Chains A and B, each alone.
Chain A
Amino acid sequence: MRRFSWFNATSLTVGFAFLYLPMLILIIYSFNESRLVTVWAGFSTQWYGSLLQNQSFLDAAWVTIQVAIASSTIATVLGTMAAYVLVRGGRFMGRTVFSGMVYAPLVMPEVITGLSLLLLFIGIGLDRGIFTVVLAHTTFSMCFVSVVVSSRLVSFDQSLEEAALDLGCSPFDAFRLVTLPIIAPAVISGWLLAFTLSLDDLVIASFTAGPSATTLPIRIFSAVRMGVSPEINALSTIMIAIVTVGVVTASIVSKRSSLAQQRDEQAAARAT
């Protein structure tokens, strides 16, 4: 019995308005000819133009993308290994410590993670730069990948792996040929999650990047400390647009494939 009452409808409308209004305002003002937020001076795309010519932003964007791709890929590999070990590994020495280390970044304040990693790099004399940021991002994204992949592994039918073993696969082959293709959507989501987290990270990057590697969030932060900037509005709009297209596409694709699957199953059940 579901009652979609007047109260529920209001909650939803107000709630989603709250969630989306700020971003909408941002998008609208990125087209504002005037620099000031207060005055609407007319429609203009000039800020997009000046943004794209701003070298420091472009450099920062390039650094950020490199870091994001590298760290999310390594984090996905490590996170998937960690998830597999935790779900299937059974008991081994130091399991509690391992489990704690894997899941701690979920709840650890970024200032602490950032500080500790920086102190490590200084302590071993590692020069700060893109490499250190990649190391840092990999470490904290790993845990998110692990959460996503392990929740998929838990519901994974183990008899499929056993069947593969029974038919002659080595344990590694069984993983490669059976488990991995089937959990692939979860692994990909994990990669995307790690990618987004890396793209978006400010605090840890600030600690571990040093003067040579400026990421986009660092650049944005130093710009907005001084207040609203229309170029940032333009940049924000671009980023929101990319994310929206990505998320909507992903959801349409997954809905299509699950509908197709359902249709197939129904057809099979009817035609025995």
Chain B
Amino acid sequence: MRRFILIAVPYLWLVALFLVPFLIVLKISLSDIALSIPPYTPQLDWTAGWAGFKDFLGQLDFENFTFLTQDPLYWRAYVSSLQIALISTVLTLLVGYPIAYAMAQAPDEWRPTLLLLVILPFWTSFLIRVYSWIGILSNEGFLNQFLLWTGVISTPLTILNTNTAVYVDIVYTYLPFMILPIYSALEKMDGSLLEAAEDLGCSRLSAFWLVTIPLSKAGIVAGCFLVFIPALGEFVIPSLLGGSDTLMIGKVLWEEFFSNRDWPVASAVAVILLLILVVPIVLFQRNEQKQREMDQ
């Protein structure tokens, strides 16, 4: 009996506050916009009974989805989001791997401090960290001032409100998510494997390429997923640092909802974003499962 309650309480909570909302999103994506409160139709009239339900179903349509495919804005936003997320993930990997590697090579006494230094930004407010780049990347910002002062450039670079700013900031914000899994994979690696490789004739570089990288693959994959998946649906970063031509689907969804007040279309956008995400999410879960089995 006790066991039943233990399972039931979180289960019901999640069904009510997680599953049901998704079904509602699905339903609304099939509805039409209306000047009512709430601003969509049809509404399910509980009192009308079965006939009311059938009537309700009849009014649902895929109009919103066809609208999405017709308007090139949405299509481009999806593609652009994928592109930005992908490039940012690669950049984060390129920046994060050397840091994780250096941490794994560092003397033992330093490691806890280094870990602390990596985790500290993670606990600091996400919003603040994004905001801090506004002051740096703007035309009168710190970066431009510095470059002008050293004479590298003569006119300020426009970085803020472009895609470049978005790339920089995604890398900055998600860096800890990339470093930690890679570090943990590298730390578990047996150093004598590298010695064996060199003993058998590898140069240091090829030992790195042939031994270290494959063994840290699990960490690399985990890190990439942890960056790519959330980056795809990012809103705050493109909103604060991106320009009006920075198309990301998170931003589109927000604007569709708050500015245009078109809830059905916003819902349709959400449904498609979810469908796009299903593939990487499933792959991520599979990878985690394999990792757990291997560790056992």
Contacts and interface: CB of A to CB of B under 8 A. Distances in A.
Do A and B touch directly, given a CB cutoff of 8 Å in the complex?
Answer: yes
Interface of A: 1-5, 7-9, 11-12, 15-16, 18-20, 22-23, 25-26, 29, 36-38, 78-79, 81-82, 84-85, 89, 92, 94, 98, 101-105, 107-112, 115-117, 119-120, 122-123, 135-136, 138-139, 142, 171-172, 196, 199-200, 202-203, 207, 217, 220-221, 224-225, 227-228, 232-233, 236, 239-240, 243-244, 246-248, 251, 255
A236 B125 contact: yes
Nearest to B132: A22
B41 interface: no
B263 interface: yes
Contact of B2 (A115, A117, A171): A171
Interface string B5-20: 0110111011101111
A11 B101 contact: yes
B18 A89 contact: no
B191 A1 contact: yes
B95 A220 contact: no
Contacts of B172: 18-19, 22
A83 B293 CA distance: 19
A12 B135 contact: no
Interface residues of B, number: 85
A79 B9 CA distance: 11
B290 to A, nearest CB: 16
Contacts of A244: 120
B136 A25 contact: yes
B146 to A, nearest CB: 10
Contacts of A92: 7
B117 interface: yes
B140 A38 contact: yes
A251 B116 contact: yes
Contacts of A38: 140-141, 145
10 contacts: A15-B95, A38-B141, A78-B9, A78-B13, A101-B19, A115-B257, A115-B266, A115-B267, A115-B270, A200-B126
B22 to A, nearest CB: 5
Contacts of B233: 108-112
Contacts of B116: 247-248, 251
B112 A251 contact: yes
A142 B10 contact: yes
A122 B123 contact: no
Contacts of A142: 10, 13-14
Contacts of A16: 99, 117
A122 B18 CA distance: 15
B6, B10, B250, most chain A CB atoms within 10 A: B10
Contacts of B121: 19-20, 23
Contacts, number: 232
Contacts of B138: 37, 227-228
A258 B222 CA distance: 29
B98 interface: yes
Given A111-B233, A142-B10, A240 B124 contact: yes
Interface string B122-134: 0111111101111
A202 B106 contact: no
A1 B105 CA distance: 9
Interface stretch (B48-56, B211-219, B273-281): B273-281
Interface in B137-152: 138, 140-142, 145
A120 B21 contact: yes
Nearest to A103: B285
